[in-house]
Amino acid sequence: MLLKWAGGKSWLTKNHKQIFHSQDSLISRAFNNHPSIEYKRYIEPFLGGGAVFKYLKPNNESILADINDELIGFYNCLKNNPTELYSSTQKHMNAHCKDYYYKIRAKNNLTDETKKASRFLYLNRTCYNGIYRVNSQNEFNVPIGDSEDFNVSEEEFIEYSKMLAKADIINEDFRISISKAKKNDLIFVDPPYVTKSNESSFDMYSANQFDWNAQKELSQILEAKNKEGSHIIVTNIYDKDICKLYDKKNGWQHKPINRANVMAYNADGKKYKEIVIKNF
């Protein structure tokens, strides 16, 4: 993966591949030989590090959206200018040290799209735990981390660019991107993990709050899309209030899962299970 992203789902694509396949395909053949369910367009309203998009590599058009404008600017630059982005990022990585990190972090008024995108990627790869957090002036304020490796080749940037060629990559709220879904589109939904009892713990430093009301509204919007015939996969914390939002009577299947070999903790430091809720 190019980005480190809090809540990234590459573990899901490695350890729980069956989620991306229909019951029929699981019964009739080994899912490794059967790419995934059939769908028209792929829609991911909370894109983040985009692990599931990378796993599925949709052949058709996609809508990839996130509320984080720097993240979306980065993906658009990767799609349109992979070679320039690669060399600009390499320059940062070659110069990396503590002073350089803080010098680049302070440059928050760049206008050139490639420079903005390479700064975003450089800070993401070298900051503490790949966290994205901004202050009240919308300035990135995460301290330096201890990772110094950047083993990605120019060819990989070009591969990503090809993968993104048919994607519409947009900076917008989930309410807008999900409203574009139609019958037989696949919507993969990985919202911030907010529950009724821990609303403020996950996204508290981000300029864009996602609270319990948003979590409820999301489920209502998805229920409407369920009725319209979209294929939907939702990931979330395994929590009774979250489960209640997706009524099994309406065709939602609840599949609690553990991250194999990885301890997942919520903001209170407790181990938690996650859940996949899907309608196919």
Ligand X SMILES: C[S@@+](CC[C@H](N)C(=O)[O-])C[C@H]1O[C@@H](n2cnc3c(N)ncnc32)[C@H](O)[C@@H]1O
Q: Which residues bind ligand X (CB under 6 A)?
A: 5, 7-9, 45-46, 48-49, 51, 66-68, 173-174, 190, 192, 208, 210
Minimum gap (Å) between residue 173 Cβ and ligand X: 4
Nearest residue to the partner ligand X, using Cβ: 48
Minimum gap (Å) between residue 208 Cβ and ligand X: 5
Residue 120 CA to chain centroid, in angstroms? 16
Two structure tokens written together for 22:
């229909």
Minimum gap (Å) between residue 91 Cβ and ligand X: 26
- Compare residues 73 and 103 and give the one whose CB is closer to ligand X: 73
- Compare residues 113 and 217 and give the one whose CB is closer to ligand X: 217
Contact predicate 230/186, CB 8 Å: yes
Minimum gap (Å) between residue 67 Cβ and ligand X: 4
Neighbours of 280 (CB within 10 A): 16
Distance CA 24, CA 251 (A): 15
In terms of Cβ atoms closer than 10 Å to its own Cβ (0-12, 13-18, 19+), residue 270 is: exposed
Q: Which helix (H) or strand (E) holds 277?
A: strand 274-278
- Compare residues 73 and 251 and give the one whose CB is closer to ligand X: 73
Contact predicate 42/58, CB 8 Å: yes
Contact predicate 242/236, CB 8 Å: yes
Minimum gap (Å) between residue 223 Cβ and ligand X: 18
- Compare residues 28 and 213 and give the one whose CB is closer to ligand X: 213
- Compare residues 86 and 210 and give the one whose CB is closer to ligand X: 210
